[in-house]
């Protein structure tokens, strides 16, 4: 018998046990670790009626103990959704989309051992959606249009001109003044050019005022004020241009009308018009009579602060002027 030292026997025993320990370590699988994308939940959203997939539905994932949203997602064309980057814990979810009632994702748990959870199919029931009523309001053109070269005032919504004349329309236009003799001025300057449908009126100021005072306001479509006319307008050093645009279009067929106005102050307006249109031929004619013997009162007070001594002008005028004006207009057009 060979006797070995005690130290040798201990070393031999340790050598014999080492391989078994290594084999045992290799046989035990390592503990699962969460992936770089964290926990993940996936499923499929389908309809209750026929099980067809619901695309583009919103998926929200919330913690089980509150309603705080931790992740969002959306379904693909086949109804499948996948939401990742979930930390270990308990969650629930909800699916929403237009035309369906909300669907609930049941509670699920994400752990290190179970990082991927399949919640199966989430059913959505169709729900009719009642949209808010839509009211359409007809949009008319604005009564006032401001442009760099001219300001345009529509006449249709001027309540003070209904039943009146074209001169009453001008009285309601800002920066236009009409005196007791129906003289027209712009910003206090009487050197203004009055146009009818874009053409300069050949009438003298007094005649023009009488013409506009017997012209019904209903025949005026709009008034254009050109305060700073360009050389193209041939202003001749005037204070500006007032263009009265009349309604020129005549309805097809025959038409006619009579206007009668009587005022308690002694003013009488009588007028009539006829129109005829057939194919390319158009005829339009009108006649108006104005009788006006209203008393006129005018007061004027001025002081000259730059003169020494200080001078004043106080003027008061009372007079009665009898006006009898006849106006006949006609137009024959072939297009």
Beta bridge partners of 244: 196, 223
Asked if residues 62 and 28 have their Cβ atoms less than 8 Å apart, the reply is no
* Euclidean distance between CA atoms 209 and 168, whole angstroms: 11
Is the distance from CB of 187 to CB of 255 less than 8 angstroms? Answer: no
Largest CA-CA distance found in the chain, in angstroms, rounded: 165
pLDDT at residue 268, as a whole number: 86
- pTM assigned to the model: 0.38
For CA atoms 286, 291, 297, 300, give the dihedral sign. Answer: positive
For 332, list phi and psi in degrees, rounded to 5: -125, 120
Is residue 314 within 8 Å of residue 301, measured between CB atoms? yes
User: Helices in the chain by DSSP H: which ranges?
Assistant: 6-27, 166-171, 205-214
- Region label for 240, one of left (φ > 0), alpha (ψ between -120 and 50) or beta (otherwise): left
Residue 12 has a pLDDT of: 52
Q: Are 92 and 64 contacting, i.e. CB atoms less than 8 angstroms apart?
A: yes
**Nearest-angstrom CA–CA distance, 258 and 288:** 10
Nearest C-alpha neighbor of 209 from the set 184, 186, 240: 184
What CA–CA distance (Å, rounded) separates 263 from 257?
Answer: 20
According to the model, what pLDDT value does residue 316 have?
Answer: 83
Residue 215 · residue 168 · CB < 8 Å: no
What pLDDT shows up at residue 79? 94
pLDDT at 97: 92
Put the strands of the sheet holding 240-246 in their side by side order. Answer: 144-146, 151-154, 220-226, 240-246, 192-196, 199-200
For the chain of 335 residues, list the mean pLDDT of each consecutive stretch of 10: 51 50 44 60 94 94 87 93 92 92 92 91 85 70 73 77 80 85 82 82 74 82 83 64 76 71 81 77 83 80 79 80 83 78
| Gap between the Cα atoms of 237 and 253, Å rounded | 45
Residue 31: the pLDDT is 41
Question: The sheet that has 69-74: what strands, in order across it?
Answer: 69-74, 58-63, 89-96, 103-110
Q: Under DSSP, is residue 127 helix (H, G, I), strand (E, B) or coil?
A: coil
């Amino acid at each position: 018998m060979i006797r070995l030292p005690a130290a040798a026997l201990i070393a031999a025993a340790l050598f014999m046990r080492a391989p078994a320990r290594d084999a045992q370590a290799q046989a035990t699988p390592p503990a699962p670790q969460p992936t770089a994308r964290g926990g993940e939940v996936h499923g499929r959203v389908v309809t209750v009626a026929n099980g067809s997939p619901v695309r583009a539905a919103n998926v929200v994932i919330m913690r089980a103990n509150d309603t705080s949203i931790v992740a969002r997602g959306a379904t693909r064309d086949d109804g499948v959704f996948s939401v990742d980057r979930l930390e270990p814990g308990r969650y629930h979810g909800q699916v929403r989309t237009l035309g369906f009632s909300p669907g609930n994702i049941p509670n699920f748990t994400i752990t290190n051992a179970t990082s991927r959870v399949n919640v199966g199919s989430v059913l959505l029931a169709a729900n009719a959606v009642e949209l808010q009523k839509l009211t359409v309001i007809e949009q008319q053109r604005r009564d006032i249009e401001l442009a760099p070269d001219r300001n345009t005032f529509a006449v249709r919504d001027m309540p003070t001109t209904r039943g009146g004349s074209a001169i009453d329309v001008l009285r309601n236009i800002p920066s236009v003044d009409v005196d007791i003799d129906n003289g027209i001025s712009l910003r206090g300057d009487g050197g203004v050019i009055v146009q009818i449908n874009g053409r300069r009126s050949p009438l003298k100021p007094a005649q023009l005022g009488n013409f506009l005072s017997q012209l019904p306001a209903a025949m005026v479509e709009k008034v254009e004020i050109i305060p700073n006319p360009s050389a193209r307008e041939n202003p001749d050093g005037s204070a500006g241009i007032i263009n009265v645009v009349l309604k020129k279009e005549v309805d097809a067929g025959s038409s006619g009308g009579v206007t009668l106005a009587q005022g308690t102050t002694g003013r009488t307006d009588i007028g009539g018009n006829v129109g005829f249109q057939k194919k390319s031929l158009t005829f339009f004619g009108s006649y108006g009579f104005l009788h006006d013997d209203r008393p006129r009162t005018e007061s004027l007070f001025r002081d000259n602060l730059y003169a020494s001594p200080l001078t004043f002008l106080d003027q008061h005028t009372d007079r009665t002027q009898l006006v009898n004006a006849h106006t006949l207009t006609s137009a024959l057009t072939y297009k």
